[in-house]
Every structure is written in C-alpha cells, then in structure tokens.
Amino acid sequence: MLRIILIRIRRKAEEQLSEEQSGLRAGWSIVGKIFSCKMRICNTNVSSSTT
C-alpha cells in the first residue's frame, strides 16, 4: 500500500518540478546543464566584448 502511495507522490512531484531542477531528479544529469550554462556565459561574454 505504501509503495502505491509513494509512486503516486513521485509522479505528482515530477509534474511539478521545473526543468531547472533536472540535476536533482532521477534519470537527469546535472553535467549537461552546467555545460550548457557555461557555454551561454562564454557566448554572452564574447558577444559583449565585440560590441
């Protein structure tokens, strides 16, 4: 019975969590998010220095 309740709670929590929380979710990697953020910062710095 508790297992069924836990599964239902997890489903609802997954629906409520935003994509920004992906590093804290099962099956999602934070490494890709860090890389993506780093690339955005680098691209922003490059575009800012050229203008």
Whole-angstrom distance, CA of residue 43 vs CA of residue 46: 5
Interval 20-42 mean pLDDT: 76
pLDDT at res. 25: 67
Whole-angstrom distance, CA of residue 49 vs CA of residue 43: 10
Instruction: Provide the mean pLDDT of the chain.
Output: 79
Whole-angstrom distance, CA of residue 2 vs CA of residue 8: 10
Whole-angstrom distance, CA of residue 17 vs CA of residue 13: 6
Whole-angstrom distance, CA of residue 34 vs CA of residue 20: 11
State in Å, rounded, how far the first CA of the chain is from the last one: 62
Is pLDDT of 8 > 90?
yes
Confidence of residue 5 (pLDDT cuts 50, 70, 90): very high
Residues 9-23: pLDDT tens digits?
988 887 777 666 666
pLDDT at res. 20: 63
